[in-house]
Structure 1
């Protein structure tokens, strides 16, 4: 069991997850603007649009002069274009509304055991922070979901300027906290971003096995580093 002074957390699919699939929320917003677009078509189009945008403009296009809002409006625009909607004057108000909506708790829900795990760590006196490949809305989303008070600081990839698995984002957390790597650990759901990357700077790490997701990394990760759910966290961290 580990004795820790700092525990850093990923957010999406670790502490928070979307309440409904992206395609459903996009389709619902489209209906308020008089458009009928199939949710599943939007789901598939979103995956394609997001992947293409991420490849062309990594980390919200910061090095290309984009803002994360411009980046996301581009994803929504491409999603609807791939779904057969091509008029920008129709797409733009939908995209603007969706960008605002995803900053509220309306679209997010806590993963089972999240609050209990955070409260347990606080009771032990373990300092906590967030390290997430997310845009500048992250702090507001955490506040809306009543999570912000658990963390000393929040490092989003947009605000810091580099994204996991870049080790500099973990080094920045260690610098801010003044905690040596062997006394720090990170929790997330990505093998590359949340397991391997923090270990490359000397931190510990745990992988949350998300229900319903295939875990291709399981054979490479020691069982004691895998969290079947967040309720298993206390069994891995030493009290006192």
Structure 2
């Protein structure tokens, strides 16, 4: 059995996922103001704008004089603009509404098995924290989704000042947990940012990967989780 004392978790697509595609949520907000925009077009615009904004102002504008709220409102306004909505007052209103809406359980749901797995990990005496490339809304989202109480700390890339796969965010998590890396493991769904990055600092790690998702050649099968429910059996076996 692995001698683990601390488990850290990614958040998006590991513990939580969006209830519906972003384009659908954005289109519903536009409809509420009498504007028709195709969800698919909004989804494409968002991916383009988000990518450009992330390259220009990484990690939600940290170190660039932007707050994460300004960063997101800008992304949302540009997404609608690219999809053909140009009225400034309306753009600001919709962007601010959506920024607020994505802070709640209205747009997020807990992945199957997540709550039960977290409870069982705690029953096994494991301490837990979150390490996520997220902005400072995450704590509230986890509270609204009834997961916050499982964790000793929530470390977002906005708080840390570094985003995964930067080793410094994992080093901060180990300091917060007060354990050496060999007594900690990280669980996430991204090979580079979660699995490989945690191992680079000496932690154990597990990759959440549904069957048929395209296996990563360097990940031994005993480190792959087809579902979160498989985690404790792997820890006990390891």
Shared fold, TM over 0.5: yes
Q: Corresponding residue for 2:4?
A: 4
Confirm or deny: 8 A CA contact 1:7 1:187 kept in the other structure: yes
Confirm or deny: 8 A CA contact 1:184 1:203 kept in the other structure: yes
Confirm or deny: 8 A CA contact 1:8 1:187 kept in the other structure: yes
- Which whole-Å CA distance do the structure 2 matches of 1:211 and 1:62 have between them? 36
Q: Corresponding residue for 2:230?
A: 232
Query: After superposition, where does 1:109-124 map in structure 2 within 5 Å?
Result: 109-124=109-124
Confirm or deny: 8 A CA contact 1:15 1:110 kept in the other structure: yes
Confirm or deny: 8 A CA contact 2:20 2:107 kept in the other structure: yes
**1:81-116: CA deviations, max 9, x gaps?**
111112221111000000000000010111111011
- Which whole-Å CA distance do the structure 2 matches of 1:51 and 1:209 have between them? 24
- Which whole-Å CA distance do the structure 1 matches of 2:173 and 2:198 have between them? 11
Deviation at 1:80, TM superposition (A): 0.7
* TM-score (norm: length of structure 1): 0.96
Query: After superposition, where does 1:23-34 map in structure 2 within 5 Å?
Result: 23-34=23-34
For the residue of structure 2 that corresponds to 1:237, the secondary structure is helix
Deviation at 1:211, TM superposition (A): 6.6
For the residue of structure 1 that corresponds to 2:194, the secondary structure is helix
For the residue of structure 2 that corresponds to 1:86, the secondary structure is coil
Unaligned segments of structure 1, at least 5 residues: none
Q: Corresponding residue for 1:50?
A: 50
Query: After superposition, where does 1:1-240 map in structure 2 within 5 Å?
Result: 1-210=1-210, 214-215=213-214, 218-238=216-236
- Which whole-Å CA distance do the structure 2 matches of 1:23 and 1:137 have between them? 20
Unaligned segments of structure 2, at least 5 residues: none
Change (3 A) 1:69 1:197: same
**1:25-77: CA deviations, max 9, x gaps?**
00000111111001111011111111111111100111110000011011111
- Which whole-Å CA distance do the structure 1 matches of 2:210 and 2:89 have between them? 39
For the residue of structure 2 that corresponds to 1:128, the secondary structure is strand
* TM-score (norm: length of structure 2): 0.96
- Which whole-Å CA distance do the structure 2 matches of 1:210 and 1:151 have between them? 25
- Which whole-Å CA distance do the structure 2 matches of 1:24 and 1:45 have between them? 13
How many residue pairs match? The answer is 237
RMSD: 1.3
Confirm or deny: 8 A CA contact 1:189 1:210 kept in the other structure: no
For the residue of structure 2 that corresponds to 1:218, the secondary structure is coil
